[in-house]
Amino acid sequence: MSAELAAGIVVFATVTLFTPGPNNLMLMASALNYGFGPTQPHVAGVALGFGFMNVVVGAGVGAVFAAIPQLYDVLRFVGAAYLLWLAWRIATAGSLRQDGEARGRPMTFLQAVAFQWVNPKGWVMAVGAITTYAAVAVFPANVAFIAGAFTLLGFLSAWTWVLFGLGLKQVIAGERTMRVANIAMALLLVATLIPVFAGSGS
């Protein structure tokens, strides 16, 4: 594998992972509401879950989507429904307990792993990475490198967005402000569906 192609994978992964999307917004909301420690299973589920998803796509699932484009339509609607439910959960997480923390609980490791399979942005990233960079080396080394890059950078991206949430937590005082912040993040999460549906249908 050439250094140029390997660098291309790293740049692609960095740009797609660190930009706003459902995973990052939910991680920021989780850190805001529950703090750093309780959000770590969510972090691990996102990073490891998406890395594993790249392995599965590289093993042949991506070809199925290429052969049956209608599967993308199914994914869009299933993912949108789940995202709307998650946005509702974030929007209603503003009430505080007596200790000052938000009511409810953060996403678990398995829930975060499962979310990768209905995350439209995740599918675009995984299929795009495999179809674009699969020729960098022979199988399975090519898929292993892509999955490894997404996993390692995924942890860095996830922690970055968790830190954003912790920073926001420092400037928010009171239940009303917390509720407003959660509603704003819920609306941003819903807004991530716009590019998913913008080009669907004619």
The 10s digit of each residue's pLDDT in 126-170 is: 888 888 887 666 778 888 999 999 999 999 999 999 999 999 988
Question: Which position has the token pair 């898929």?
Answer: 143
Answer whether residue 29 is part of any domain.
Answer: yes
The DSSP symbol for 59 reads I
Q: What is the pTM of this model?
A: 0.84
One-letter amino acid at 139 equals: F
Identify the CA nearest to 48 among candidates 112, 139, 127, 106.
112
Cβ contacts of 87 within 8 Å, gap of 6 or more: 186, 187, 189, 190
Domain span holding position 176 = 3-195
10 Å Cβ neighbour count for 109? 16
- The pLDDT tens digits of the residues spanning 82-130 come to 889 888 888 887 555 445 555 668 899 999 999 999 898 898 888 888 8
Answer whether residue 54 is part of any domain.
Answer: yes
Answer whether residue 202 is part of any domain.
Answer: no
Start-to-end CA distance of the chain, whole Å, equals: 41
* Cβ–Cβ under 8 Å, residues 55 and 147: yes
Answer whether residue 201 is part of any domain.
Answer: no
Answer whether residue 114 is part of any domain.
Answer: yes
Answer whether residue 50 is part of any domain.
Answer: yes
Answer whether residue 200 is part of any domain.
Answer: no
Answer whether residue 12 is part of any domain.
Answer: yes
Q: CA-to-CA distance for 97 and 136, rounded, in angstroms?
A: 52
Helical H segments across 35-174, by residue range: 36-56, 62-67, 70-91, 109-115, 120-133, 141-171
User: Which pLDDT score is estimated for 174?
Assistant: 73
Is pLDDT at 201 greater than 50 in this prediction?
no
- The pLDDT tens digits of the residues spanning 16-65 come to 999 999 999 999 999 998 999 999 999 999 999 999 999 999 888 766 76
User: Into how many domains does the chain fold?
Assistant: 1
User: Which pLDDT score is estimated for 38?
Assistant: 94
User: Nearest 10 degrees: CA dihedral of 110, 129, 127, 109?
Assistant: 0
* Cβ–Cβ under 8 Å, residues 42 and 108: yes
